[in-house]
Amino acid sequence: INVTPSIEAYSVLLVRIKGALLYSSGPDSANLTVTVDRQLPDDNSVETRNWTVPIQPTFVNDISKEIVREMYFPIGQKAHRDRDRLSIRLSTEYPHSLPIVLAYETLADAIHNEVLYAGIVLAFVYGLITLELAHRALAAMLGLLMSVAALSLVNRRPSLAEVIAWLDFETLSLLFGMMVMVGIFSESGFFDWLAVAAYRLARGRKAALTALLCLFAGGASAFLDNVTTILLMAPVTIRLCELLRLDPRQLLIAQVMFSNIGGAATAVGDPPNVIIASNAQLEAQGVTFAGFTLHMTLGALPAALAAYVLFQTVYWRDNVKSESSTENGDSAVADELRREAEVWRRTAYGFSVTTREQAAVKAMLQARICELEHRMVATTERPSTSGVSRDDSLRTFEQNLIELQQKYKIRDKELLVKCCLVLMGVVALFFVSSTVPSLHLDLGWIAVMGAIALLVLTDFADLDTLLHRIEWSTLVFFASLFAMMEALRRLGLIGWIGDQVHLVVLSLPETARLPVAIIVVLWTSALASAFIDNIPFTTAMVPVILQLSDILPLMPLVWSLAFGVCFGGNGTLIGASANVVAAGVAEQNGYPISFVHFF
C-alpha cells in the first residue's frame, strides 16, 4: 500500500490494524508482519521498519472478536509529501485467508508531545473542579474543547460525527431512563414512606440507620449497576436526613463508597469487572465468572468493614463539631434557610415567563427568596438561643415516629403499584441481560423502555415538570467527560500509563517482580481511576497484564487490576459514575458536595 500523506511535512506514521489479533503470542498463534518502507530521495536507498503482531489460532479464528492494534513508526528525518515515498507491506505465514482492516495516519512533530498535552488538559480540568472556579459540567466541556484542539495540533482532528460517537450512550440512556422513573416514582410519596420505615426499623438510632443504608447500598450494587442503586437510594437518604435534621452529604458519600465496594464484589457489579471477566484471552487462561466473584468478594468484605469503621469515626467527629457549633447559636437554622433559599432560587431561574400569569408566579418565587434571605440575616444577627435542639432531643422515639407516620404517607397508591411493577420488570431485565448475553439488551435500552412504559401506564400529563427534575447538568458532564477521555486516550495518555507499568515491572529482578507487579498494578490502577474514567483505563491495562503473564502468574495481576480500578473510584468526586450521580442529586436538593469535601 502506497502511503498518501495528508499533510505537507510529517515525522511519524501511525499504522492501525483490526482483525482476529492477539495482544501477546501463544503456543498456537501465527504472526502478521507489518513492514514500512521509506525510499530516501538522495540515494534511492530504502529504510525498513517491521512490526510483528500475533494472530488468533486457526481453530478459534472464525469466532474471535475484533482487536485493534496500532503502532507509531518514527521517520528518521522529516518526510515531505512531494519528495518522499512510503509504503506499507503485510506478510504472514498464516495458511488461510485472513480479513484485516488497515488504516494509517501521517502525523506532525507535535505528536511527540501528545502525552504532555493530554496531561495539561487533565490538570486544567481538575484544577477548575477542585478550586470550584467553574461547574464540573462546564469544566468537562472546556476539557473536551482543549483535547480536540490538541488532537488538531497533531493532525488528528476528529469530525463532529466522531466526537458524538465517543459518547457512551448506554450509560447516558441508563441515567436518563432511571431519572425519569425516579421522578415519577417520587410523586407517589414512596420515598417519604420508605424513609419513615427505615427510621422505624433502626429505632431512631443514627448508627443503626447508617449501617442499614450502607449495607443495602453495597449489597444491591453487587448485582445492580451502582448508578441505578444510587439513583434509587439518594432520594430516600436525603428525605430521611431531613426528617432527622441531619446533613445528608456525609451519608451520601458513605453510600457511594459502599456502592463502589459492593460493585467490585461480582463480575457484573461494575463495568471494569465486566470488561475483565468477558475478555476472551483471560477466559482462556482460567478467569471464570465464579472464580472472579469468589476472589473479589473475599477482598470486598474486609474493605467494606474498614470503610464502615472509617465512616463512623469521621461522621462521629463531624457530628460532635456540628453539635458544639450549634449548641449556643442558630447556625443550623441559618443553614436550613440558606439551603431552602437556594432551592427556590434554582426553581425561579429555571421558570420561563411567556404569559402574565407566569410572570406573577415568578414574582411570588422572587418574593419568597427575599423573605428567606431576610430571615437568614435576622437569624444570624440575633442573640444565640439553644432551645430548639434540646427540646427535640427530649422527644421520645415513639412520639417522633407517630408524627412522621401521620405526616408522610403514600399519596397515590395506584401510581405506586404501577411504578413498582415497572421498576421490578426493569430490575429483572437487568439481571437477565447480565446472565443471558444472547438477549442483546443493554442497560440503557432497558432503562429507556422502562421510562416510556411508565409514562404510558401512568398517563403522566405534566411532562415539563418531570423534565425539570432530570439532572441535565449531570448528563452534560458525563457526555463531555466520555468524549474528553476518548480524546485523551487518542492522545496516548492511558496507553502511556500502561507502558510505564510494563517497563517498571520488567526492570525489576525476577525474584521481586511478582510482589512489586501486584503493588504497581494495584496502586497505578487506583490512582489513575480516581482521576480518569476507569472503563478506558481497564481496556488499556488488560493487554498490559496479558503481556506480563508471559513472565508472571496471571491471576494475581487480574485481581490487582480489578481491585484497583473499582476501589480507586472512591478517591475523587468524579472518579466513578455513582459519585457524580450522588453529587447531582444532592445539589438538586440544595446540598452541594464540593470536590474538596468529597476528597
185 within some domain: no
CA-based radius of gyration for the chain: 28
Domain assignment of residue 257, yes or no: no
* pLDDT above 80 (res 448): yes
Q: Is the pLDDT of residue 392 over 60?
A: no
* Percent of the chain whose pLDDT exceeds 90: 4
Does some domain include residue 269?
no
For residue 307, pLDDT beyond 70: yes
Q: Are residues 89 and 157 in the same domain?
A: no
**Alpha-carbon distance 415 to 406, whole Å?**
20
Please write the tens of the pLDDT for every residue from 246-273. 778 888 888 888 888 888 887 767 778 7
pLDDT score for 336: 61
592 pLDDT band, cuts 50/70/90, is confident
**Is 39 inside any structural domain?**
yes
For residue 568, the tally of other CB atoms under 10 A from its CB is: 26
What pLDDT was estimated at residue 145?
A: 93
**Mean pLDDT rounded to a whole number for the chain:** 77
**pLDDT at residue 468 tops 70:** yes
User: Of 85, 107, 129, which one is at a domain's C-terminal end?
Assistant: 107
Q: Which of 43-52, 163-172, 329-338, 582-591 has the lowest mean pLDDT?
A: 329-338
Residue 268: which residues within 8 A CB-CB, separation 6 or more?
223, 274, 277, 434, 435
pLDDT higher than threshold 70 for residue 90: yes
Average pLDDT, integer, range 144-167: 89
- Using pLDDT thresholds of 50, 70 and 90, give the confidence band for residue 34: very high
Residue 64 sits in the same domain as residue 123 = no
- pLDDT confidence band for 374 (50 / 70 / 90): low
Q: Could you tell me if residue 179 is inside a domain?
A: no
Spatial contact of 181 and 460, defined as CB atoms under 8 Å apart: no
DSSP codes of every residue in 269-304: SSHHHHHHHT-HHHHHTT--HHHHHHHHHHHHHHHH
Contacts of 217 by beta carbon, 8 Å cutoff, 6+ apart: 229, 230, 233, 255, 256, 258, 259, 262
Cα 423 to Cα 227, 441, 454, 522: the distances in Å are 15, 16, 9, 37
Is the CB of residue 103 less than 8 Å from the CB of residue 68?
A: no
CATH (domain of 28)? 2.60.40
Q: Which residue has the higher pLDDT, 555 or 406?
A: 555
For residue 66, what is the DSSP state?
A: P
- pLDDT at position 212: 81
Instruction: Look up the domain containing 339 and give its range.
Output: 330-385
> What is the reported pLDDT for 250?
82
Between 72 and 29, residue with greater pLDDT: 72
Q: How many Å apart are CA 472 and CA 475, to the nearest integer?
A: 5
CA dist., res. 432 & res. 445, Å (int):
13
Same-domain pairing of 37 and 121: no
Assess if residue 431 is contained within a domain: no
Asked whether residue 96 is assigned to any structural domain, the reply reads yes
Residue 149 is predicted with a pLDDT of 92
pLDDT confidence of residue 599: 75
pLDDT at 350 over 70: no
Q: Say yes or no: 47 and 134 in one domain.
A: no
- Distance between CA atoms of 274 and 297, rounded to whole angstroms? 15
pLDDT band, residue 556 (cuts 50/70/90): confident
pLDDT at 316: 58
Helix-helix angle 248-263:554-567, to 10 degrees: 160
- 194 contacts 236 by C-beta, under 8 angstroms: yes
- pLDDT at position 141: 92
Tell me which of 360 and 381 has the higher pLDDT.
Answer: 360
Q: How many domains does the chain have?
A: 3
Q: Please, which residues have CB within 8 angstroms of residue 72's CB and are 6 or more apart in sequence?
A: 12, 13, 14, 107, 111
pLDDT tens digits for range 507-547: 888 788 888 888 888 888 888 888 876 776 777 778 778 87
Backbone region of residue 522 per phi and psi (left: phi > 0; alpha: psi in -120 to 50; beta: other values): alpha
Q: Do 129 and 89 reside in the same domain of the chain? A: no
User: 68 with 96, same domain?
Assistant: yes
Residue 558 within any structural domain of the chain? yes
Percent of residues, the chain, with pLDDT higher than 70 = 80
User: 203 or 316, which is more confident?
Assistant: 203
- In terms of phi and psi (left: phi > 0; alpha: psi -120 to 50; beta: otherwise), the region of 44 is left
* pLDDT, tens digit (0-9, with 9 covering 90-100), for 3-32: 877 767 777 888 989 888 887 777 777 888
Same domain as 102, residue 13 = yes
424-441 per-position pLDDT tens digit: 888 788 777 766 767 777
Residue 323 has pLDDT above 50, yes or no: no
User: What residue has cell string 403522566?
Assistant: 460
Report whether pLDDT(311) > 70. Answer: yes
Mean pLDDT of all residues in 328-340: 56
Whether residue 53 sits in one domain with residue 143: no
